[in-house]
Structure 1
Amino acid sequence: MAAMNKVAVTGASGWIGRYVVKQLVAKGYEVHATYRRTPLSLVGGTWHQVNLLSGEEAIRFIEKVKPDSLIHLAWDAVPPHCYRSLSNYEWTRSSMGLIHHFVQSGGQRVVVAGTGAEYVWEEGILSETTSRDSYAHAYAASKNSLRIWLQSYAEIAGFSAAWGRVFHLYGPHDPGNRLVSAMVNALLKKEEAFCKYGGIYRDYLYIEDAADAFVALLESRCQGTVNIASGKSVQLQQLVGLIGEKLGEDSLISFGKDVPIEPLFIGVDVTRLTNEVQWKPSYTLTEGLKRTIQWHAAQME
């Protein structure tokens, strides 16, 4: 595979995207970043306002830039709204068009952001090779449909493609006020921090590590589906407890008493990520939480 120098990043102003662009720029790539509303010019790269759901705009962007590699992160992916949104089908359609024109203009390597929600969540370890794919809601069905199409298209058209399945993330700039952000914000305001299911185990990865994993996946020769996770599941009671401990507000934390409908333990098999992509996280859970708390605290000053 020829050396890749010019990278297009879609959804670059999004949560993962901002860190992906920053890391690519630091590595010396020529980065062309798309945004919908607000560019993040301070992180570097060249920014392009593109409505990716418009086929014409996407084509114009690809023809103008002619990137040799593409990291496709753009999608309406903030839970819980994303699970049932009709926009999933629009993103599937437009993503196919974008990737097709990228390949037609000479693109060599594609990395797309998938999701752990593509799996049927069953008790145990979720693996790229043995776990079942879910079509239970629009988000999972649309992502899985695009993934299967990409794999087939790459094989026949002769380009390199990888699919990074992301699990639970946490860290600065969280747009969805997910568990960690919600807990940190509540405790900083000295309000009750309620966690519905303290007994379940889930895999949490710091946002900068997730971005770094995508860059490593781009630079690797790895193809097909790769789980992007820490590989270490943590009990939510312990996770939330660590936040309370760091803020000295343990007494404000409470847990629901309902028995969870979801599996008690979900682990993630990161063998491909570790061995083939040769990547592992830089931040421990403790370090990641410390940085997240510092960021949220600074936002309140």
Structure 2
Amino acid sequence: MMHKVAVTGATGWIGRYVVALLLDKGYEVHATYRQTPLATGGIWHRVNLLNGDEGVKFIKSVKPDSLIHLAWDAVPPQCYRSLANYEWTRNSMALIHHFVQCGGQRVVVAGTGAEYRWEEGLLTENSSPDSFANAYAASKNSLRIWLESYAQIAGFSAAWGRVFHLFGPHDPGNRLVASIITSLINKREAFCKFGDLNRDYIYIEDAADAFVALFESGCEGTVNIANGKPIQLKQLALQIGTLMGSEDKIIFGNEPPKEPIIIGADVGRLRDEVRWKPRFSLVEGLTRTIGWYAEQE
């Protein structure tokens, strides 16, 4: 059994839950942070992964047999145009290369649903076209293509989890669910610009659980991390309003959307090969999220 796991981006939105799950399962977890480590177990290392030398020193000192690479500047909309994407690609390659040189056997990297060219319907790992339309998508896809080739030649196991829309506590980007909840908590109107759109949302604890399941499964290649059931944003917003008793404060825009109406993820690989399914229903996830934000006030 692989037991020494390095987790980058361990203080991030997904990372904090991944670390907790791995510790519960008995792994020796070596977690990286940039500013402040979490008050959990595990062994914490202060590493600036955009300084390639620091990442190499971390790998050489720990010599993990497994690497879960979650670190990236991924808060929208800034991430789509940021030049940091190219630095993340270059330094991620160096990190993974030295991991393999030090005997590493299993790599799982966080990708994004933004890597797809968004077309109407469910997006599938091996048949839906990739997008290189912005810096974020192009950089993630470039790293993924390199990783697949490198793993095949160098002989290690690699998987790539494409994460779709997340919601839950600790959202660093004040995305739709977080913005609606915080507005309603503060007795303000909550705005949902494109209520007709259908998008694939997954609760953050479920997303982390899916990553750990992907890691343990040994499954290789790209796997969508999503719920597989797109929900209309209007229904999502009204569900939050119902749970908070403030449906009347939700305002919808009437501007026609410029994106496909329905975009979701084909979760066949996640379900059949990783053998994973969500633990939390939408209502359960929203209830937990509302409760967390209420405690922050």
Q: TM-score range by the shorter chain?
A: over 0.9
**Distance (Å, rounded) in 1 between the aligned partners of 2:220 and 2:253:** 41
1:127 touches 1:268 (CA, 8 Å); kept in 2? yes
Q: CA RMSD in A?
A: 0.5
Unpaired stretches in structure 2, ≥5 consecutive residues? none
SS at 1:113 equivalent: strand
Q: Which residue matches 1:274?
A: 271
SS at 2:200 equivalent: strand
**Structure 2 counterpart of 1:245, one-letter code:** T
Q: Which residue matches 1:117?
A: 114
**Distance (Å, rounded) in 2 between the aligned partners of 1:299 and 1:256:** 28
Matches within 5 A, 1:62-141: 62-141=59-138
2:233 corresponds to which of 232, 236, 249? 236
1:10 corresponds to which of 8, 11, 24? 8
Tell me the CA shift for residue 115 of structure 1. 0.2
1:187 touches 1:249 (CA, 8 Å); kept in 2? yes
TM-score by length of 1: 0.98
**Distance (Å, rounded) in 2 between the aligned partners of 1:255 and 1:55:** 45
**Distance (Å, rounded) in 2 between the aligned partners of 1:235 and 1:43:** 37
Runs of 4+ with >2 A deviation: none
Tell me the CA shift for residue 153 of structure 1. 0.1
**Percent of aligned pairs sharing the same letter:** 71
Please say if 1:35 is aligned against 2:43.
Answer: no
Tell me the CA shift for residue 54 of structure 1. 1.1
* 1:174-230 CA distance string (max 9 Å, x none): 000000000000001110100000011001000000000110011012100000000
Please say if 1:19 is aligned against 2:17.
Answer: yes
1:183 corresponds to which of 159, 180, 183? 180
**Distance (Å, rounded) in 2 between the aligned partners of 1:237 and 1:43:** 37
**Distance (Å, rounded) in 2 between the aligned partners of 1:64 and 1:288:** 39
Tell me the CA shift for residue 253 of structure 1. 0.4
**Structure 2 counterpart of 1:5, one-letter code:** H
2:144 corresponds to which of 142, 147, 161? 147
SS at 1:33 equivalent: strand
1:13 touches 1:39 (CA, 8 Å); kept in 2? yes
Tell me the CA shift for residue 34 of structure 1. 0.2
**Distance (Å, rounded) in 2 between the aligned partners of 1:200 and 1:55:** 40
1:203 touches 1:231 (CA, 8 Å); kept in 2? yes
SS at 2:108 equivalent: strand
1:18 touches 1:43 (CA, 8 Å); kept in 2? no
TM-score by length of 2: 0.99
**Distance (Å, rounded) in 2 between the aligned partners of 1:195 and 1:251:** 13
2:283 corresponds to which of 274, 281, 286? 286
Unpaired stretches in structure 1, ≥5 consecutive residues? none
1:25 touches 1:45 (CA, 8 Å); kept in 2? yes
**Distance (Å, rounded) in 1 between the aligned partners of 2:113 and 2:35:** 27
1:195 touches 1:256 (CA, 8 Å); kept in 2? yes
Q: Which residue matches 2:247?
A: 250
**Distance (Å, rounded) in 1 between the aligned partners of 2:102 and 2:250:** 54
Tell me the CA shift for residue 38 of structure 1. 1.0
**Structure 2 counterpart of 1:280, one-letter code:** K
Q: Which residue matches 2:209?
A: 212
